[in-house]
Chain A
Amino acid sequence: MALRDERVTLAHGGGGKAMRDLIEEVFTSVFAPPGMEDQARLQAEALAEPGARLAFTTDSYVVTPIEFPGGDIGKIAVCGTVNDLAVGGAKPLWLSAAFIIEEGTEIALLRRIVATMAREAEAAGVKIVTGDTKVVGRGACDGVFVTTAGVGVIPGRVEMAAGRVAPGDVAIVNGVLGDHGATILAARGDLALSSAIESDCAALGHLMADVLAVAPGAKAARDLTRGGLASALNEIAEAAGCGIEIAEDALPLRTEVVGMCEILGLDPLYLANEGRLVVFVPEVEAEAALAAMRARPEGTGAVIVGRAVEGHKQVRMTTAFGGQRIVDMLVGEQLPRIC
Chain B
Amino acid sequence: MKFASEFRDPKAAKVLLAEIAKVADRIGATKDKPVHIMEVCGGHTHSIFRYGLDKLVHEGIEFIHGPGCPVCVLPRARVDECIEIAEREGVIFTTFGDAMRVPGMKKSLLQAKADGADIRMVYSPLDALELARRNPEREVVFFGLGFETTTPSTALAIQQAAREGLGNFSVFCNHITVPEPIKALLDDPHMCLDGFIGPGHVSMVIGIHPYDFIAQDYGKPIAVAGFEPLDLLQSVLMVLRQIAEGRAEVENQYARVVPEHGNPVSLAAIDDVYETRPSFEWRGLGEIDKSGLRIRAQYEAYDAEEKFGIGYATGRREVEEAEGCACGQVMTGRMKPVDCPQFGRGCTPEMPLGALMVSSEGACAAYWQYGGARAVEPAE
Residues in A lying within 8 Å of B, measured CB to CB: 190-191, 255, 258-259, 262, 264-265, 314, 316, 319-326, 328, 331-332, 335-339
Contact = CB atoms under 8 A, between A and B. Distances in A.
Given A258-B1, A262-B4, A336-B98, A323 B56 contact: yes
B370 A326 contact: yes
A337 B70 CA distance: 11
Contacts of B71: 338
Given A335-B97, A338-B150, A319 B51 contact: yes
16 contacts: A255-B1, A262-B1, A319-B51, A320-B8, A323-B53, A325-B50, A326-B374, A328-B368, A331-B349, A332-B101, A332-B350, A336-B96, A336-B121, A337-B97, A338-B98, A338-B146
B100 interface: yes
Contacts of A339: 43, 70, 146-147, 149-150, 201
A255 B1 CA distance: 6
A191 B123 contact: yes
A265 B55 contact: no
Contacts of B49: 325
Chain A contact residues: helix, strand, loop or mixed:
loop
B310 interface: no
Nearest to B375: A312
Which one of A324, A325, A328, A332 has the greatest number of beta carbons of chain B within 10 Å?
Answer: A325
A258 B3 CA distance: 13
Nearest to A254: B1
Given A338-B70, A338-B150, A322 B10 contact: yes
Interface residues of B, number: 43
A260 to B, nearest CB: 10
Nearest to A264: B123
Contact of A337 (B8, B98, B369): B98
B371 A316 contact: yes
A320 B8 CA distance: 8
Contacts of A264: 123
A332 B359 CA distance: 12
Contacts of B371: 314, 316, 325-326, 328
B359 to A, nearest CB: 8
Which one of B43, B97, B146 has the greatest number of beta carbons of chain A within 10 Å?
Answer: B97
B360 interface: yes
Contacts of A335: 97-98, 100-101, 121
Nearest first, the 9 closest Cβ-Cβ pairs linking A and B are A323-B52, A326-B371, A335-B97, A336-B97, A325-B370, A331-B349, A339-B149, A338-B96, A321-B51
A228 B368 CA distance: 20
A121 B319 CA distance: 58
